[in-house]
């Protein structure tokens, strides 16, 4: 059964690219034109993609494009096992996947059943025997080659990500950049993984070996499909593990390309496999006896269920869950930077970011000035076709999620909050986009700590502004949440800044910035936001285990 994946790529005329001076962090945006693309690509999306078609075929084999409509058809399976795209051995019902920008069905994907999951795990298990015996430097070279391929195909992968996810092409390019950077970083660590030597009495000694776990499972989220897969695969493969990855059923397309890239780079066939599906497929993965570790990115309720399943098999788990993070703006802040920080903390990926600082605490002295400027800047955000260069906010992931976000805004008004701007549905001028899942970014004023919009994760472009008077007060209120993923503070007083972040109960904190997540630093939260870490050298500890070896150099002492 072929996967019919219709990708509408004929779009409105695009505007000139805009560049950002700070490339490199997870969500820092760079819209520089891709190398080797002719200038005419800035004129129309249709000729752009027609010219890119030979390269797009490398991303999704089997592509065919209509020169009249710009419609791309993909006729390839989205499961990947033993080094090839495969039809699932026991594919269940077909699940529709929607293109956020247009609201049309993008493709229909069969959910992988227990047999397909087992075949994927067994394939990974066989490849693990080869990969785990390779030296760190051998693994390093393969991972560097994978990073090179991703870097070379950045534009094609970003287009695929935008079509499937709905975020702006500007952000998608940044995601792909941080994906290959992640693989490069862990490739560099692969050759340095080592244990320790300990001298013991009597000339004896001991040492430790850092060894891989085996077959690891990665379960991704729909807001950063390709990037999350790299964040999990990078440390896992560097340590010598194999991986079976399940992307979100809402965004199944781009991760299979990552699997192909790993194979092209030289990993043993089967080292990185992809299974598609929803809850049942995830359960088969988590409960499989040959799975050694689970890494999950997603909601708190699902994370709890995964913990329960993993506990039955005594499997280690890394959980990167939700958040309702505070962003604290003191009156001595640089107002322009504070406003920009609040925008970055709330509106990237249409507000669908787990660590967003959606509770914006503003010192009362500057509340009116700050709020006025934030509202003005929010109203200017360009919404529309995510494939256009000047778009800054694309479409939310699907209709049910859009309705959920709208429900939070309605409830906020009922509880006394004031909509200062946005919050309503947005219909682009382009008729091809009229059924897309768009809304105007929203700023809520007159918020109270006990309101649902302040307590619960909305996961949409909704900023709640709350006034405060003292440092002690705002720290206490900022920590009064079940979540603990992130927190931020804007102030010119560096002592105050360090004092506040030390008091915040959150895994990641930002001073005079927000939402920068370089691969060199750990990413993860406290409390209900999960545990374990992704990125940074510490992630190696979550994908490896220590073996202790004691060596006796003399005769054995025996009391018997």
Q: At what angle do helices 169-190 and 136-152 cross, to 10 degrees?
A: 160
Task: List all residues 6 or more positions away from 384 whose beta carbon is below 8 Å from its beta carbon.
Answer: 12, 391, 393, 394, 428, 430, 433, 438
Task: List all residues 6 or more positions away from 271 whose beta carbon is below 8 Å from its beta carbon.
Answer: 124, 127, 128, 131, 237, 242, 243, 262
Any catalytic annotation for residue 476? no
Bridge partner residues of 127 (DSSP): none
Count Cβ atoms below 10 Å from residue 512 Cβ, excluding itself: 16
User: Looking at 161, 260, 320, 457, which residue is catalytic?
Assistant: 320
Residue 30 has a pLDDT of 33
Taking the complete model, does pTM exceed 0.85, yes or no? yes
> Please, what sign has the CA dihedral across residues 469, 470, 474, 476?
negative
Cα separation of the two ends of the chain: 69
Residue 268 has a pLDDT of 99
Phi, psi of 490 (to 5 degrees): -115, 120
Select from 150, 60, 101, 58 the least CA-distant residue to 385: 101
What is the location of CATH 3.40.605.10 in the chain?
4-320
- Write out the chain's pLDDT in tens, 560 residues: 223 332 333 333 333 332 333 433 443 343 333 343 333 223 334 444 555 555 555 555 544 444 433 444 456 899 999 999 999 999 778 899 999 999 998 888 999 999 999 999 999 999 999 999 999 999 999 999 999 999 999 999 999 999 999 999 999 999 999 999 999 999 999 999 999 999 999 999 999 999 999 999 999 999 999 999 999 999 999 999 999 999 999 999 999 999 999 999 999 999 999 999 999 999 999 999 999 999 999 999 999 999 999 999 999 999 999 999 999 999 999 999 999 999 999 999 999 999 999 999 999 999 999 999 999 999 999 999 999 999 999 999 999 999 999 999 999 999 999 999 999 999 999 999 999 999 999 999 999 999 999 999 999 999 999 999 999 999 999 999 999 999 999 999 999 999 999 999 999 999 999 999 999 999 999 999 999 999 999 999 999 999 999 999 999 999 99
CA 398/CA 406 separation, integer angstroms:
12
Residue 76 has a pLDDT of 83
Task: Please state which architecture CATH assigns to domain 326-518.
Answer: 3-Layer(aba) Sandwich (3.40)
Residue 39 has a pLDDT of 31
Tens of pLDDT along 260-307?
A: 999 999 999 999 999 999 999 999 999 999 999 999 999 999 999 999
CA 191/CA 232 separation, integer angstroms:
18
CA 458/CA 103 separation, integer angstroms:
21
Task: List all residues 6 or more positions away from 346 whose beta carbon is below 8 Å from its beta carbon.
Answer: 356, 357, 358, 360, 441, 461, 462, 463
What is the side-by-side order of every strand in the sheet holding 84-86? 84-86, 79-81, 272-274, 242-246, 215-219, 291-297, 317-320, 530-531
Which 3 state secondary structure label does DSSP give 10? coil
DSSP secondary structure code for residue 43 in this structure: T
What is the location of CATH 3.40.309.10 in the chain?
326-518
Count Cβ atoms below 10 Å from residue 198 Cβ, excluding itself: 12
Which of these CATH numbers, 2.60.40.10, 3.40.605.10, 3.40.190.290, 3.40.30.10, describes 4-320? Answer: 3.40.605.10
* CB neighbour class for 429 (10 Å; exposed up to 12, middle 13-18, buried from 19): exposed
CB distance 81 to 51 below 8 Å: no
Residue 106 has a pLDDT of 85
CA 176/CA 146 separation, integer angstroms:
12
């Amino acid at each position: 059964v072929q996967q019919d994946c219709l990708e509408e790529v004929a779009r409105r005329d695009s505007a000139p690219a805009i560049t950002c001076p700070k490339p490199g962090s997870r969500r820092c945006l760079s819209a520089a034109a891709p190398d080797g693309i002719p200038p005419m690509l800035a004129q129309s999306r249709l000729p752009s993609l027609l010219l890119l078609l030979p390269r797009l075929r490398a991303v999704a084999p089997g592509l065919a494009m209509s020169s009249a409509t710009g419609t791309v058809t993909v006729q390839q399976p989205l499961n990947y096992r033993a080094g090839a795209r495969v039809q699932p051995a026991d594919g269940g019902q077909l699940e529709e996947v929607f293109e956020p920008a247009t609201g049309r069905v993008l493709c229909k994907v069969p959910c992988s059943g227990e047999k397909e999951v087992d075949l994927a795990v067994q394939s990974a298990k066989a490849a693990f025997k080869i990969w785990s015996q390779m030296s760190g430097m051998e693994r390093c070279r393969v991972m560097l080659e994978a990073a090179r391929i991703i870097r070379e195909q950045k534009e094609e992968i970003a287009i695929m990500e935008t079509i499937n996810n709905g975020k702006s092409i500007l952000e998608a390019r940044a995601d792909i950049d941080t994906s290959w950077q992640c693989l490069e970083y862990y490739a560099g660590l692969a050759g340095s993984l080592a244990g320790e030597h300990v001298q013991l009495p009597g000339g004896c000694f001991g040492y430790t070996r850092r060894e891989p776990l085996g077959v690891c499972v990665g379960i991704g989220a729909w807001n950063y499909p390709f990037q999350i897969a790299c964040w999990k695969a990078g440390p896992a493969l560097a340590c010598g593990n194999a991986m079976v990855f399940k992307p979100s059923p809402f965004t199944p397309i781009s991760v299979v390309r990552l699997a192909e890239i790993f194979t092209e780079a030289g990993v043993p066939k089967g080292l990185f496999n992809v299974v598609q599906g929803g809850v049942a497929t995830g359960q088969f993965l988590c409960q499989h006896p040959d799975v050694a570790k689970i890494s999950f990115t997603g909601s708190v309720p699902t994370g709890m269920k995964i913990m329960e399943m993993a506990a039955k098999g005594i499997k280690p788990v890394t959980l990167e869950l939700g958040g309702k993070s505070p962003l604290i703006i003191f009156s001595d802040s640089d107002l322009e930077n504070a406003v920009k920080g609040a925008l970055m903390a709330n509106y990237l990926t249409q507000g669908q970011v787990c660590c967003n600082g959606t509770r914006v605490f503003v010192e009362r002295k500057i509340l009116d000035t700050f709020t006025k400027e934030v509202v003005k800047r929010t109203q200017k955000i360009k919404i529309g076709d995510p494939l256009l260069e000047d778009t800054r906010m694309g479409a939310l992931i699907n209709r049910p999620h859009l309705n959920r976000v709208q429900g939070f805004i309605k409830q906020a008004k009922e509880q006394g909050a004031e909509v200062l701007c946005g919050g309503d549905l947005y219909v682009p001028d382009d008729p091809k986009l009229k059924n897309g899942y768009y809304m105007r970014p929203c700023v809520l004023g007159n918020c109270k700590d006990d309101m649902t919009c302040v307590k619960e994760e909305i996961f949409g472009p909704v900023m709640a502004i709350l006034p405060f008077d003292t440092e002690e007060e705002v720290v206490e209120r900022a920590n009064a949440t079940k979540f603990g993923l992130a927190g931020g503070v804007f102030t010119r007083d560096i002592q105050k800044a360090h004092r506040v972040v030390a008091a915040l109960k959150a895994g990641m904190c930002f001073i005079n910035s927000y939402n920068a997540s370089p691969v060199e630093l750990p990413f993860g939260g406290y409390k209900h936001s999960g545990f374990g870490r992704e990125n940074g050298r510490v992630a190696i500890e979550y994908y490896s285990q220590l073996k202790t070896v004691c060596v006796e150099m003399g005769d054995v002492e025996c009391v018997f």
